[in-house]
Amino acid sequence: MVQDKQDNGHATEIYINTRPHTWNENKISYSELVALAFPGEPVGEQDTVTVRYSRGHNGNGAGSLTSGHDVSVKKGMVFDVVRTSRS
C-alpha cells in the first residue's frame, strides 16, 4: 500500500468516499487513492476505476485523476473513487 512514503510531519485529513483518512504527504496518487478506497480488494482487468476530487487548491480545486498521476493534497479535500465492472 503506502508503506514506502515518509511522514512529512504534516498530517492532513482528507475524505475518500465520505470516509475520513489522515494523509502525511503533500501529494496523493491515483493508485494510492484506489488502495485506500478499496483496501484488500483487488481491482481486476474487468474493472474501471474513476477518481474525482473537489475542495483542492486554487488552480486545481476540482477535477479527475487518471492512472500514473497525482494531485496536491489540501485539508478537507474530497475524493470520490468509483469502481465499475464491465460485464
**Segment 1-18 mean pLDDT:** 69
Q: What is the pLDDT of residue 58?
A: 67
Closest CA to 14 of 39, 42, 33: 33
Categorize the per-residue pLDDT at 19 as very low, low, confident or very high, splitting at 50, 70 and 90.
Answer: very high
Element (H, E) at 32: helix 30-37
CA dist 53 and 65 (Å) reads: 8
Q: What is the pLDDT of residue 60?
A: 59
Q: What is the pLDDT of residue 9?
A: 62
What does pLDDT average to over the chain?
A: 85
Q: List, for residues 62-84, the tens digit of each pLDDT value.
A: 899 999 999 999 999 999 999 98
